Amino acid sequence: MSPFVTSTTMSALVKTRPDIGLSMEQCSIPQIGPEEVLIKINKTGICGTDIHIWNWDEWAARTVPVPLIIGHEFAGEIVELGNQVEALALGQRVSGEGHLVGKHSRQSRAGKFHLDPETRGIGVNEPGAFAQYLKLPAFNVVPLPDSISDDIGAILDPLGNAVHTALSFDLISEDVLITGAGPIGIMAAVVARHAGARNVVITDVNQDRLDLAALAADIVPVNVVTEDLAAIPARLGMNQGFDVGMEMSGNQIALDQMVEAMVMGGRIAMLGIPPGKSPVDWSRIVFKALTLKGVYGREIFETWYKMISMLQNGLDVSKVITHRMPATDFDIGFETMLGGSSGKIVLDWTDL
């Protein structure tokens, strides 16, 4: 047992039964294996995935075993090292990749870990990070430089989704359209700005979210309820449509609007997850010669490398965090997220 851990139990946010909500429970502190580390959690971010689990929707009921400690966005410090772990140290500040990959698939053996079909997620299939302590394979640990705070460390997972999507296609001097100004859409817009796009336009139907986007960086917010997206290119001095699209709403109407607004031969990266099957006008996509790329998770670990380098080089996503609260107020955090107007909400586990 670690000299840094004096108790055998910890507080953790648990889905205890197949129903709506979560509860703070006393659980055993995880025992680590030789290639794992124990991380004392300082900050965590609430994700849309956690909201699905809170609501216990059809996906959650199908996917999440009960009981389970949930949560996968975190920053903390290492308090115990397995005896096979190298190149990490006690006390080191870290975040980490929450996708636990296998070693057997062709993709994994080729080093394309993010494409491994055996992937299991912490806080979804395996015990998660909404707890005082988290057990994680050393392989998944990502050290945090001193310049990256625990608050930002706690949102690197969704920032990684944004970075993975945004860097899917060349952005320098391109006109970029993002549909969906949720936390990930806004972060993708900030990344596109940082990466040298010419115009970055973001759409939503929620004015609070668009206001937050405008606050976060030099982005053109468009409320598609009250404004005509078709009028925007001319207003920005663009001759044709958008070169690069990032679909980040999961809404079919938004994808239709994006296809319509793209230039011939444009490229679209799709992160948003539609709730079910949705009709797509494929002939429009074919005649426009568009390229569509599905994006899942983060590239392990190239996205992490790029993201941390950008944060060290002026990328500022701090405005996307709109609420901070102690983990004991988790129900307020979840209710705020359910309201649909917040950015990222960060829970503080240090005072438990």
Binding site for ligand NAD (CB under 6 A): 48, 161, 179-185, 203-206, 209, 224, 248-251, 253-254, 271-273, 295-297
Task: Look up residue 32 and give its DSSP letter.
Answer: P
Stated as kind and residue range, the H or E segment containing 193 is: helix 183-194
Choose from ligand NAD, Zn ion, none: what does 203 bind? Cβ within 5-8 Å by kind: ligand NAD
Minimum distance from CB of 157 to Zn ion (Å)? 5
Least distance from C-beta 190 to ligand NAD, angstroms? 13
* CA torsion angle 322 325 331 333 (round to 10): 10
Tell me the backbone φ, ψ of residue 128, rounded to 5 degrees.
Answer: -105, -160
Would residue 49 show up in a list of annotated catalytic residues for this protein?
Answer: yes
Q: Given the complex with Zn ion, which of 47 and 144 has the nearer CB atom?
A: 47
C-alpha Rg value of the chain to the nearest Å: 20
Catalytic option among 16, 44, 52, 164: 52
Q: Is 321 in the site for Zn ion (CB under 5 A)?
A: no
Sketch the per residue contact string, 58 through 97, with Zn ion: x for CB under 5 A, - otherwise: ---------------x------------------------
Give, as ranges, the residues between 1 and 60 that touch Zn ion (CB under 5 A): 47
Count of positions on this chain that bind Zn ion (CB under 5 A) = 4
Q: Supply the minimum distance, in Å, between the C-beta of residue 171 and ligand NAD.
A: 19
Give 247's strand partners.
179, 270
Q: How far is the CB of 304 from Zn ion (least distance, A)?
A: 14
Nearer to ligand NAD by C-beta: 235 or 293?
Answer: 293
Beta bridge partners of 68: 15
Q: How far is the CB of 152 from Zn ion (least distance, A)?
A: 14
Query: Which residues between 240 and 299 bind Zn ion (CB under 5 A)?
Result: none
Q: Would you state the structure tokens that stand for residue 54, as one six-digit string?
A: 């809170």
Is residue 194 annotated as part of the catalytic site, yes or no? no
Total residue length of the chain? 352
- Residue 254 binding target from ligand NAD, Zn ion, none, CB below 5 to 8 Å by type: ligand NAD
- Choose from Zn ion, ligand NAD, none: what does 273 bind? Cβ within 5-8 Å by kind: ligand NAD
Q: Quick check: 346 and 151 in contact, CB under 8 A?
A: yes
CA distance 95 to 144: 7
Residues 91, 71 contacting (CB under 8 angstroms): no
Q: Which is nearer to ligand NAD, 38 or 47 (CB)?
A: 47
Q: Which is nearer to ligand NAD, 139 or 296 (CB)?
A: 296
Which partner in ligand NAD, Zn ion, none is near 123 (CB below 5 to 8 A by kind)? none
Separation between Cα atoms, residue 142 and residue 347, nearest integer Å: 20
CB of 152 to ligand NAD, least distance (A): 17
Q: One of 6, 8, 9, 49 is an active-site residue; which one?
A: 49
Number of continuous H segments (helices) and E segments (strands) in the chain: 12, 18
Rounded (10°) CA dihedral 272, 228, 216, 46? -30
Tell me whether residue 148 or residue 159 sits nearer to Zn ion (CB atom): 159
| Paired tokens of 177 | 């359209």
CB-wise, 161 or 257, nearer to Zn ion?
Answer: 161
Measured distance between the N- and C-terminal CA atoms of the chain, rounded to whole angstroms: 20
Instruction: Name the percent of the chain in helix, strand, coil, to the closest 5.
Output: 30, 30, 40
Which of 130, 15, 132 lies closest to 73, judged by CA? Answer: 130
Residues lying near Zn ion in the complex (CB under 5 A) are found at 47, 73, 157-158
Give the residue numbers marked as catalytic: 49, 52
